[in-house]
Structure 1
Amino acid sequence: MISQSPSGPPRRAAHQAALVRDFKQAWDAQDINALVGLLAPGATFTADGGGVVAAALHPIEGGEGIARYLTDLAVRAIGGLTVRERTVNGRAGPVIEHEGIVVAVYAFDVADDRITRIRAVRNPEKLRRWTAG
């Protein structure tokens, strides 16, 4: 489960927030190289669509594969996607909106200044409180 909660220690929180800002900037620019630079080479992306909405059916492995997947999502979204920084599982995390509706919440695991894992929730049932909040 991905939840909204207060941040952890200030140093880690500031670093996480900087990663989220860099992620947002790279996503907005559809800059695959910048996204690859933020992701660990062995990073993993998983998504939960709950069988209700489209989501990656299998984990996506590797920074480049994840970067290409995310860039493709941004390109295919009619009307565009907006990335906002929110508190996700006690740390800064990207919340993805489409036309003002939250369509995904991402939780990052970070090691050695790079994103090692992205867990995405896309199931609308689990996202209701994000749109309302």
Structure 2
Amino acid sequence: MSDHAADEATETFLAHRNLLFTVAYEMLGSAADAEDVLQETWLRWVRADLARVRDRRAYLIRITTRQSLNRLRSMRSRKEAYVGPWLPEPLLTAPDVAEDVELAESMSMALMLVLETLSPTERAVFVLHEAFDVGYDEIAAAVGKSPAAVRQIAYRARRHVDARRPREAVSSGETRAVLESFRNALESGDLRGLLDVLAPDVVLVSDGGGIRQAAPRPVVSAGKVARFIVGGIGKNEVSLTGEPIVVNGGPALLIRVDGEIDGVVTIRVEDARITGLYYVRNPEKLRPWTREDLDPAVRPVSR
């Protein structure tokens, strides 16, 4: 490849890098794996004959999708051996990501957990079509299926996801208000306050990865979740604080125990109450926050 062609390839890749990262992350739920996919995409991209590539964006998405599918299938064994519930790696994102409602929803912890129940191909088709508005012909080329088959897969995946997603979209402002009430009750150990902000059928999922203590299975119902939270604070006699941050395009809390980073909490809200609590404590998923020499980097994501 000539120097001019190499410069052109680099410029094109960098122009689409944020998009490619977002595609890979939404398919994998892991920023570390998404970065690995981008490296693999780059190695294949620089070997491509750019003169024969009609749509460079589509071509890059195709490479990224194929590499993500390969990695997604290989991740199955890792997840099967995972200790306790698995949650996606939280991404610190800029507040303005929430303004792109579709992108913010597609990256939300709640929806990404639903995507975990899809097959790898269903997930790829859903993410590409619903989150990034990629056409069926382009998706077909990326996943190795016919356009007709992709349409059927997209329909099946959409029905599956729609049956499990919140009935109505909730604004980031409403989520922030509910999260602030939760934060106040959390910091004060107020059982009554927690019960007021939790939906009766709320589900708490905590991810310690076998490294940090976490509930071995989801905790269900407001009473059990509230007692689980307050009991943990009282038993250990610790000082617990929650710092408002934006994770995966939505309001979240960075939890500190006695001043040390303990985890990241995101929530799902319906009818002004919390129906889902997602607490990531696995330190391997919190490296951007726990490295002493580096503040957590805001992930530039795009559609």
Q: Given the two structures, how large is their TM-score scaled by the length of structure 1?
A: 0.90
Counterpart of 1:5?
93
Note the residue ranges of structure 1 that are not aligned, 5 or more in a row: none
Does the CA-based 8 Å contact 1:6-1:91 persist in structure 2?
no
- Residue 97 of structure 1 aligns with an amino acid whose one-letter code is R
| 1:75-90 equivalence runs, <5 A | 75-90=234-249
How far apart in 1 are the matches of 2:271 and 2:240? 28
Counterpart of 1:59?
218
Give deviations 1:34-87, integer Å, cap 9, x for gaps.
101111101100111001111011110001111111111222344412111111
Structure 2 counterpart of 1:95, from 229, 254, 259: 254
Does the CA-based 8 Å contact 1:35-1:67 persist in structure 2?
yes
- Residue 94 of structure 2 aligns with an amino acid whose one-letter code is P
Counterpart of 1:125?
284
- Residue 17 of structure 1 aligns with an amino acid whose one-letter code is R
Structure 2 counterpart of 1:107, from 250, 266, 282: 266
Aligned residues: 133
Give deviations 1:6-33, integer Å, cap 9, x for gaps.
3424981111111121111111221111
Counterpart of 1:24?
183
Which fold has the larger relative contact order, with Cα–Cα distance below 8 Å and residues 6 or more apart in sequence? 1
Structure 2 counterpart of 1:38, from 197, 205, 209: 197
How far apart in 1 are the matches of 2:176 and 2:229? 19
Which structure's residues are more often strand, by fraction? 1
Q: Given the two structures, how large is their TM-score scaled by the length of structure 2?
A: 0.41
Identity percentage over the alignment? 30
Deviation at 1:98, TM superposition (A): 1.9
Deviation at 1:88, TM superposition (A): 1.8
How far apart in 1 are the matches of 2:253 and 2:233? 14
- Residue 32 of structure 1 aligns with an amino acid whose one-letter code is L
Deviation at 1:105, TM superposition (A): 0.7
What is the root-mean-square deviation in Å for CA atoms of aligned residues?
A: 1.8
Deviation at 1:126, TM superposition (A): 0.8
* Shift in CA distance, 16/31, structure 1 to aligned 2, threshold 3 Å: same
Does 2:173 align with 1:14? Answer: yes
- Residue 114 of structure 1 aligns with an amino acid whose one-letter code is R
Give the structure with higher Rg (CA): 2
- Residue 13 of structure 1 aligns with an amino acid whose one-letter code is S
Note the residue ranges of structure 2 that are not aligned, 5 or more in a row: 1-87, 102-169, 297-303
Counterpart of 2:110?
none
SS of residue matched to 2:91: coil
